Structure formats: structure tokens, C-alpha cells
Amino acid sequence: MWVQVLESVKSARVLITGGAGFIGSHLADELMLRRSKVTVLDNLSNGSIKNIEKWLENPNFTFMRRDLLDAHSLEMALEGSEIVFHLAANAEVRTGTTQPKIHYKQNIQTTFNLLEAMRKAGDIEVVVFTSSSTVYGEPTRMPTPENYAPLRPISVYGSSKLSCEALITGYANTYGFKAIIYRLANVIGPRSTHGVVYDFVQKLERDCTQLEVLGDGTQKKSYLFIDDCITAIDAGLKNTEDRVEIFNIGSDDQIDVKTIANAVIEEMGLENVTLRFAEDVDGGRGWVGDVKSMLLDISRLRSKDWRPRYNSEQSVRLTVREILRGL
């Protein structure tokens, strides 16, 4: 019954946790365009009502301003739902350096609460979870495939995502529902409110003569435009066979932070900007827990006829244009 999850999404009642956030709101857009019946649950701590306001009057759309830490809210949100897209999380990696409890509560505790509510409801068929490339830590193999081991995250955020994966896998196998886990590279685009590209634009808006770069600028990672992320999620829902499926989502290439900085400066039409590198973390990292190099093996999704339209630099430039358009 899980072979064509995508087809069932078109007619099912779908719940999106964190659906007013960056990726969640774009997913909600796509599902609404497919005439799905969508419920968004979001406490708006990171998301914005503006991201979903065009759907608020649509009879197929329901918005619930609730918190996943509230079990009663989850019971109401799950009522009638068949498929759950679990995107709610605190996605700021640096938070774990000073406030690790936030990642525990907003990532691990909320996931446990959701799974418990799903178990009690008893009629949820599928849960889709957005994990992170940070679960791999600093792998010795790149591009890094889904079956790479051992998984040794170097940040509290990465460990929280890996904990969520373990919980979801255990619950799926114990209670009989389907789980699809996506390990995301750096997803960027319109509506994003954090990350290196967003931060660079904000810094240059405040001072166009200089740009502070966290780390030594050699950090090299994969960046994916939001449209490609949504089509990748779409592709992963097709022809799934195992009870738990794991897919990497990312681009085919990498880009270093210094190149990102120069691309942002160019897209903003600025000249004579001085780059200031804050090399105060071991190995030139931007912060404690910052992975220096990341590139995911996306061949599993490629086997489902998916491929990103944009490379990392194109994604960065498109994102800068979208951010500037919204200022």
C-alpha cells in the first residue's frame, strides 16, 4: 500500500508540522496546487503567517497555531490525517553551542510527542521527516551515501536530527507505519530567514564597505535551491517499497564560503567590499560544530529520475535576488 505515496497525497488529508516555515510553506504551496487537503501546524516561532496567507481562505486548507510540545494540540491536528510531513524544528545549528536544551525540546521532544500521538491515533499511514546532512558529521567518504557509517555528528543539532531518525525508525517498525527520511544539504531560497546567504545579505545591508565571514572562508558545502528541494521530496515519494526509506537531497557540487561572499557582493552590485575572516574556531570553522566539507551522494534520488536544476552557485545567486526582491 506504500508503493505510490505520491498518488495518495493528492487525495489524502495531509498534516505539515512547521508548515509556515521556509521549506514547509513551499511544500504546502505544492500540495495545495495539487488540491490536497492540508493542515499546517506551526507555533510561528520561526515561521510566518505571511508564508501561507494566500491559502487561509481556501476550504482545503487549515492553519493551527499550536506547539508540538502540547499533546492535546497534536491530537486535534492529527484527526482525519493520513500522511504527516514533519518539518517543525529549530534549524539554527549554532544554537546548540550555547543552548543545547533548545535542540532537545524543539527537535527530539517534539518528534517523540508527534510519534506518540500518531501511535495513539492508529490510522496514520506515512510520516515524512526532514533530517540533515549534519548527521554524517565529518565523513571520510564524499560524496557521502545514505548507507555511510558510523554516523558521528559533531554538533548538538546534528545529534538531535539523528536521534529523531532513530525514534522514527523504531516507531515505524514497531507500530507499522511507513517512514521516509530526507537528509538535506543546505537548502536556500525565498522565505529563508537564516544561513550564510541570508546572513551575508543582512550584514551588507547594514554596512556595504565590509563583510564579516565566520571561519576562514574555505568551508565547502553543497547548496540547493528550494524548488529543487520540493521536487526531490516529490521524487522520493514515488515507488517506495521498504518500511523506512532514507534519501539524501542536495546538489551535485560544492561551493566555499569565500566564493559565496563574492557572489553575494556581486549580486548586490557592490564594489570595494573588504572581507574580514573570523578565524577563531579550530581548523577555520565558522563555529563549534561547523562541518568544514559536505557533499551528499544523491544517486538514490537520481535513480527516480530526479536531478537538481541548479548548481550551488546558481542557487546562491538566485537566493540573493529573491532576498533583495523582498527587502
Active site residues: 157
Work out the percent of the chain whose per-residue pLDDT is above 90. Answer: 80
Averaged pLDDT score across all residues of the chain: 93
- Whether 13 and 82 have beta carbons less than 8 Å apart is answered as yes
Query: CB under 8 Å to 113, separation ≥6 — which residues?
Result: 68, 69, 71, 74
Give me the mean pLDDT over the 6-24 stretch: 83
pLDDT value of residue 80 = 86
Q: Write down how long the chain is.
A: 327
pLDDT value of residue 113 = 96
With a cut of 60, say whether residue 294 has pLDDT above it.
Answer: yes
**pLDDT tens track for 194-222:** 899 999 999 999 999 999 999 999 999 99
Q: What residue has cell string 487525495?
A: 11
Find, among 238, 280, 179, 226, the residue nearest to 25 by Cα: 226
Among positive and negative, which fits the CA dihedral 287, 195, 160, 240?
negative
Work out the percent of the chain whose per-residue pLDDT is above 70. Answer: 95
pLDDT value of residue 3 = 41
Q: Which carries the bigger pLDDT value, residue 264 or residue 240?
A: 264
pTM summary value: 0.94
pLDDT value of residue 181 = 98
For residue 13, give the 3-state DSSP assignment: strand
Q: Classify residue 149 as exposed, middle or buried by CB count within 10 Å of its CB (0-12, 13-18, 19+).
A: exposed
**What superfamily in CATH does domain 5-187+224-249 come from?**
NAD(P)-binding Rossmann-like Domain (3.40.50.720)
**pLDDT tens track for 25-42:** 999 999 999 889 999 999
Question: Is 190-222+253-294+309-326 in CATH node 3.90.1150.10?
Answer: no
- Whether 94 and 51 have beta carbons less than 8 Å apart is answered as no
pLDDT value of residue 185 = 98
**Domain residue spans of the chain:** 5-187+224-249, 190-222+253-294+309-326
Residue 296 sits at φ, ψ, to 5 deg, of -90, 145
Q: Which carries the bigger pLDDT value, residue 279 or residue 209?
A: 209
**pLDDT tens track for 43-74:** 999 999 999 999 999 999 999 999 999 888 88
pLDDT value of residue 238 = 86
Give me the mean pLDDT over the 215-236 stretch: 96
pLDDT band at 96 (very low <50, low <70, confident <90, very high): low
- Whether 286 and 175 have beta carbons less than 8 Å apart is answered as no
With a cut of 80, say whether residue 8 has pLDDT above it.
Answer: no
**pLDDT tens track for 142-186:** 999 999 999 999 999 999 999 999 999 999 999 999 999 999 999
**109: which DSSP letter?**
I
With a cut of 70, say whether residue 1 has pLDDT above it.
Answer: no
* HSE of 310, CA atoms in CB hemisphere, 13 A: 21
pLDDT value of residue 184 = 98
pLDDT value of residue 90 = 85
pLDDT value of residue 7 = 56
Give me the mean pLDDT over the 138-142 stretch: 97
Q: Which carries the bigger pLDDT value, residue 225 or residue 122?
A: 225
Q: How far is CA 65 from the centre of its chain?
A: 20
pLDDT value of residue 6 = 52
Query: CB under 8 Å to 249, separation ≥6 — which residues?
Result: 182, 183, 184, 185, 187, 224, 229, 232, 233, 236, 296, 298, 301
For residue 69, give the 3-state DSSP assignment: coil
